Amino acid sequence: MTFLLASCSVYPVEVNTADQLTGVWSDWSGATVEFKDDGTFTAKGLDKADVVGWGCSGFADRQHGTWSPSGTYGTVTFDGVDCEDMKLAFYGSPDSFIACFTRDVTSGGCTHEFSREKD
């Protein structure tokens, strides 16, 4: 008898320039994030239930802030929100990758997986 063993892996993707991320990204639930080339972003559709486990107060009320790409994780700050160590994680393939807000992607900390349609 032959068995086939398959596994699922998360492959980090390097994001080092703004143009790799600039644009509108969406997830399966309809939430969106628009990353602008000036280093700001605006999110729509995230609610308090999305971030209860993150320990970030005020997150759902203030869905805008700043971002900066820096490899497989980007830095992100939500305006007026107390949320230390929040990051953007990038994974998938270089041609079609996922971006997500996380405090620890290795332990399943991404509640939204945003993707962008290429033109």
63 lies in some domain: yes
Q: 92: domain range?
A: 18-107
Does 77 reside within a domain? yes
CB 98 within 8 A of CB 91: yes
Residue 11: inside a domain: no
Task: Report the half-sphere exposure of 88 (CA within 13 A, side-chain side).
Answer: 28
pTM assigned to the model: 0.79
Q: What is the pLDDT of residues 11-31, one digit of tens each?
A: 788 988 888 999 999 998 888
Residue 81 located in a structural domain: yes
Does the residue 34 lie in any domain? yes
Quick one: average pLDDT of 46-64?
A: 64
Residue 73: inside a domain: yes
Residue 2 lies in a domain: no
For the chain, the domain total comes to: 1
Residue 93 located in a structural domain: yes
